[in-house]
Chain A
């Protein structure tokens, strides 16, 4: 009868799977994961593809999620980080500065050209950063994680995360204000 559809799997399944509201998880965490990838890889389309990969992996592994080990947000970001690593490993290239800078020279023909250009320029500046700094920026500004959470995710100390981020932001800011991508 109804068991063929998730009649009793919701809300009861939440209790059986650590009372997780997966629909709510999707709504809440999708923007964070998507923006993590926007900072991480730059291109919007790629960010969407990697976000899809992350959620599909997560959904297939939901039964293995253990809330006592990490919050669901942390769990998802951990999967996202592995997806990002796999992505770069498969490509065996880093996003070169010119790869991202090129579109900036092709004026976007949308209603908000300046904002679009700024966004592309920022993406190119971030793409030029070393791997570790880019990862921390993606977690901080894309996923909007706290320094403490980032420390847990990356294995760095919280103070180290703060120091690296502060230095990275200063570097980006100076490059941003200089109007170029050195």
Chain B
């Protein structure tokens, strides 16, 4: 017996409805991001870790061999000039999540937002965004076919201070199953200060494809005098899933004062160094995995990539669908 007549009620959604609901969902997303609800664990640590990404910041948080007075002299200033990928064992983060452990609380109970950057605000155009952020905004000199600028958003400057708690850090290491890591007791009470610049997001749309170009000035991370950044990095890398030997080798090859570490899932993620003009960039590609129990009839999720590079004082991130080749072409069109 045919049931074709029963399909009559099916209709595509009205475009106006689709767009209006999407805007409300975006607002929810931004609101939750502000509260740290939906971000990945490493980004929930954002106020403490802004600018050096999670792992570097975890590392920063972990070791101050001789902290004399927690915030007495903030001499070590970080400026991001390059990026390095760090494979992360996602099962460790999942373990924390399952235990409902909050990394931010584990690392520091004293995380102060000195200046809230606020939620990303939509502005009329690039000129309006430039007026708000105070620096010249780079754009794509030539857009790919059928691609158009569809949205411009800005966030303000941010300022944060984290005071570290070694007991909490040990709890974190224990929760992650990391053994053999010594957390210097002198670290207790040390302060890390982070200043983040305003950020601009330009969204380019081509049909269902969505490309987002972010740009900001380098953040500044100030640490107490006498900090052994490399030691910090080594500990942080172990927390990310590396063995002690791997972490030491990796740490020895990184300029810890100019390198932003980018966490990449050890499974399902891929990364490589690429040239963006004269700069060295990092291209990270992730293919979402189809989960057991998912609908096999549905198409495989698409690759998505993000390209990170710096130019002068500015940092760029360009993200979009695909394996990254198109992103590279677009990045080379950014003036």
User: Which residue on B lies nearest to A38, using beta carbons?
Assistant: B9
Set of chain B residues within 8 Å of A166, measured between Cβ atoms:
1
Q: In the complex, are the beta carbons of B288 and A21 less than 8 A apart?
A: yes
**A9–B13 contact, CB under 8 A?**
no
Would A169 and B304 count as touching, CB distance under 8 A? no
CB distance from B18 to the nearest CB of A (A): 6
Complex contact A9–B33 (CB within 8 A): yes
B residues in contact with A115, CB < 8 Å: 8
Known: A14-B288, A122-B8. A56 touches B40 (CB 8 A): no
Q: A14 contacts which of B7, B9, B14, B286 (Cβ < 8 Å)?
A: B286
Q: State whether A6 touches B304 (Cβ < 8 A).
A: no
CB closest chain-B residue, reference A45: B17
The reply to whether B304 and A21 form a contact with Cβ atoms under 8 Å apart is yes
A30 touching B13, Cβ below 8 Å: yes
Given contacts A7-B319, A21-B288, contact A13 B40 (CB under 8 A): yes
Whether A131 is near chain B, meaning CB under 8 Å from some CB there, is no
A6-44 at interface with B (beta carbon < 8 Å): 6-21, 23-24, 26-28, 30-31, 34-35, 38-39, 44
Determine how close the nearest CB of chain B comes to the CB of A84; give it in whole angstroms. Answer: 15
A1 lies within 8 A of B292 (CB)? no
Query: What's the Cα separation between A38 and B153 when bound, in Å?
Result: 35
Q: Which of B187-201 contact A (CB under 8 A)?
A: 196-197, 199, 201
Q: A4 near B9 (CB under 8 angstroms)?
A: no
B269 CB contacts on chain A under 8 angstroms:
15
Say yes or no: B1 contacts A169, CB within 8 Å: yes
Task: Decide: B286 and A15 in contact? CB cutoff 8 A.
Answer: yes
Can you list, as one digit per residue, whether each of A144-157 has a CB less than 8 Å from chain B (1) or not (0)? 00000100000000
Within the complex, the shortest CB–CB distance from B262 to chain A, in Å, comes to 7
**B3's closest neighbor in chain A, by CB?**
A169
- Do B286 and A52 touch (CB < 8 A)? no
Cβ–Cβ contact B304 & A4, under 8 A: no
Complex contacts, A12 vs chain B, CB 8 Å:
40, 43, 263-265, 284, 286, 306
A80 close to B (CB within 8 Å):
no
Closest residue to A24 on the B side, CB-wise? B301
Bitwise, A162-173 to B at CB < 8 A (1) or not (0) is 000010011011
Contact of B10 among A17, A67, A142 (CB under 8 A): A142
Q: Report B15 CB to chain A, min CB distance, Å.
A: 11
Q: Across the two chains, which residue of chain A brings its CB closest to B216?
A: A1
A83, chain B: closest CB distance, angstroms: 14
Q: Is the CB of B25 within 8 A of A56?
A: yes
Instruction: Decide if A48 is an interface residue (CB 8 Å cutoff).
Output: yes
CB-defined contacts of B289 to chain A, threshold 8 Å = 19
Q: Please tell me if the beta carbons of A169 and B9 are within 8 angstroms of each other in the complex.
A: no
7 residue pairs, one from A and one from B, having the closest CB atoms: A16-B40, A15-B265, A19-B288, A11-B304, A1-B219, A4-B155, A11-B286
Write the residues of chain A forming the contact surface with B, with a CB cutoff of 8 angstroms.
1-21, 23-24, 26-28, 30-31, 34-35, 38-39, 44, 48, 51-52, 55-56, 59-60, 62-63, 67-68, 70-73, 115, 118-119, 122-123, 126, 137, 141-142, 149, 166, 169-170, 172-173, 176
Query: Would you list 25 pairs from A and B whose C-beta atoms are within 8 A, ordered by A residue?
Result: A1-B315, A3-B196, A7-B199, A7-B214, A8-B263, A9-B40, A10-B212, A11-B285, A11-B286, A11-B306, A12-B263, A30-B13, A30-B18, A35-B9, A48-B14, A56-B24, A60-B32, A63-B37, A122-B8, A141-B6, A142-B9, A142-B10, A149-B295, A173-B1, A176-B5
